[in-house]
Amino acid sequence: MSDLRILQPDDDGALRDWQYVHNTIIPTHLLSMDDVRDRAERHHLEVAYLGDVLVGCSTVRPPADATSTATVIARVLAPHRGQGFGEELYARGVGRARKWGAEVIETVVLSSNEDGLRFALTHGFVETERYLLPGETVPWIDLRLS
């Protein structure tokens, strides 16, 4: 994994890479570039490359207001799963959340993403809620690190 590069997207090219990973893994909730730019202002986004090959991305939503709960989401494209990239993205995300003062770590997984759900459960998350967003047909699963 020595060639793994993880960076905060700071231009449209890197933001498009983040968008590509997000939209590939979450096809029921496609984000426009305006959506991605908005998220980049509100959350900490990272993009991961193996050499020059895009492998994944992550999002850390900081604790809101008086809560001490942050959301950490690591996404890895299917051909690159099982190689430790999710581990690295996840560990970096948790580290960022802890720096922001998070005492509770949550994540969210689209229920059709069996690999993502398995990753979360294997890493100590427990399901707290399943729900449908308006107009969507695939449930989301909220999980909390136990």
- Asked if pLDDT for residue 144 goes beyond 80, the answer is yes
Residue 54 in tokens:
């895009």
Cα distance between residue 132 and residue 88, in whole Å = 29
Domain that holds residue 65: 4-145
Number of domains comprising the chain: 1
CATH code, 125: 3.40.630.30
pLDDT given at position 94: 96
Burial of 131 (0-12, 13-18, 19+ CB in 10 A): exposed
- Asked if pLDDT for residue 146 goes beyond 70, the answer is yes
pTM, two decimals, is: 0.93
Provide the mean pLDDT of the chain. 94
pLDDT in tens, 114-124: 999 999 999 99
pLDDT given at position 2: 61
Element of type H or E holding 76: strand 69-76
